[in-house]
Structure 1
Amino acid sequence: MMMKHSAWALAVGLGLAVSGASAQQVWKCEVGGLVRYSDRPCDSPGQALPTRQLQPNVADSLKPEVVRAALAPASAPVVAAVGNACPGDAEIRDMQTRGNSTSLGDAERQFMQDEVRRAWQCRKGQGRYSDADWAISRSAQAAQSQLSDRARQDARQRAEDMHSAADPDEGDRIARLRLAQVQARLRAEQQAARRSQNPASEPTH
């Protein structure tokens, strides 16, 4: 009974702390055409938000998941964010094993290792994934052992498109990587074209 009372008291304290912090004055400022929020008056056009607009729903801070998070020990294992579907430990270990396989090519091995990294990011709460999203990933992983290079590449692209939609940060990384690949291919084509225009002299006999 004492433990339940302590947990309830802590939960109430959390709710009051959130409410008290939100009662501070906040300004909505326009900077370079973008909206920014500050705890100080705006240097540019802006307005002070009424305190009542900043009050949170204290009941939300008393939800069971919030109380459990507050009472959880610091050494608690990393779990997926609420509403985020992610691979489990056993599946990630299997992905790591396949990602280190010497039977895969460089591109296929890199993709598998990227999927491991993305799975851990998901477990840490990054992105918003569904079970259907990871079904696409699993299909792409399985395709990396197919004989057709086009099939392997298409599967990787489908998975990357899925990750880009589920996780904006990962989407930015994928976009930068694809741009770098296109630029590298163009440079290689330009170098090949220059070599064809200026062939090396044939050795004389």
Structure 2
Amino acid sequence: MKRLKWWAVLAVVLGMSNAGAQQVWKCEVNGKVNFSDKPCPQAGQPVAERSLQPNVVEAMKPEIVNAAMGRPPAASAPPQSVGNACPGDGEIRGMETRANSTTLGEAERQFLQDEVRRVRQCRAGQGRYREADWVISREAQAAQTQISDRARYDARLRAEAMHSAADPDEGDRIARRRIAEEKMQRRQQQQLQRMHPASYPAS
């Protein structure tokens, strides 16, 4: 069937050539041979009817073949956008419930609320997340109920490092907040030193 179709195209092109409506040209451009419906800008020659073969028709410009077949011009395929792998609506609802739990400390609750916001940013197309990234986030969320302060903190750091790699804007936000927290901790320590100088001997 495909071979018959190309022979039909060949017959149409030959018919157009015989009628003078469509001449096929064999052109040489930069050492490469192309077939065109327009005279060659450089070296080239019209193709004789007897020398046309089905493989020549296949090598011709797509718009010539489409016109001969009575088909509309081929549209170029739109570029494929790279999408994010993001948690679904059900998972977001569960995260929101945990983020509002009164049994969590302030730092843990803030982290979970941040994770909800980051999921919504992902759903809006921000960043470049993989499913493996959200595995790290889920582990960090689960770790916020552990007894060890260090375990909770380390898990948050791992999640924040993942977000920084996947979303530069979120990485900037995390870095700015971390700097602000460090400044606040230094101010609090300085206040404690002024209030209780005996507890903080001069170094």
Normalising by structure 2, we get a TM-score of 0.58
Which residue in the other structure is 2:94 paired with?
94
Q: Which residue of 1 aligns with 2:181?
A: 181
Relative distance call for 1:198 and 1:150 in structure 2 (3 A) is: closer
SS for the counterpart of 1:102 is coil
Alignment of 1:1-205 (within 5 A): 59-61=76-78, 82-197=82-197
Q: C-alpha offsets along residues 48-76 of structure 1, whole Å, 9 cap, x if unaligned?
A: xxxxxxxxxx7243x6x7xxxxxxxxxxx
Relative contact order, CA 8 A, sep 6+: which one is greater?
1
Q: Structure 2 unaligned segments of length 5 or more: list them.
A: 1-74
Task: State the shift of 1:186 in Å.
Answer: 0.6
Query: Which runs of 4 or more aligned residues in structure 1 lie more than 4 Å from their structure 2 counterparts after TM superposition?
Result: none
1:192: Cα distance to partner?
Answer: 1.4
Q: Distance in 2 between matches of 1:107 and 1:146?
A: 13
Partner Cα separation in structure 1 for residue 148 and residue 195 of structure 2: 31
Determine the C-alpha separation between the residues in 1 that align with 2:106 and 2:145: 12
> Once the 2 structures are TM-superposed, how far is the Cα of residue 147 of structure 1 from its aligned partner?
0.7
- Long gaps (5+) in structure 1: 1-57, 66-80, 200-205
How many equivalent residue pairs? 125
- Structure 1 vs Structure 2: percent identity of aligned residues? 66
Question: In angstroms, what is the RMSD of aligned CA positions?
Answer: 1.9
One-letter amino acid of the structure 2 residue matched with residue 162 of structure 1: M
Distance 1:141 1:161 in 2: 14
Alpha-carbon distance between aligned partners in 1 of 2:166 and 2:148, rounded to the nearest angstrom: 28
Q: Which has the larger radius of gyration?
A: 2
Q: Output the CA distance in 2 between the equivalents of 1:141 and 1:97.
A: 12
Answer yes or no: is the 8 Å Cα contact 2:86–2:134 preserved in 1: yes
Alpha-carbon offset, residue 163 of structure 1: 0.4
Residue by residue over 1:122-178, the C-alpha shift from the partner in whole angstroms, topping out at 9 and shown as x without a partner, is: 000000001110000000000011111110111011101110110000000000000
SS, match of residue 196 in structure 2? helix
Q: Aligned letter for 2:76? A: A
2:144 aligned partner, one-letter code? Q
Could you say which residue in structure 2 is the equivalent of 1:15? none
Residues 94-144 of structure 1: CA deviation (Å, up to 9, x unaligned): 101111111111111111111000000000000000111000000000001
* DSSP-derived class of the 2:102 partner: coil
1:54 corresponds in structure 2 to: none
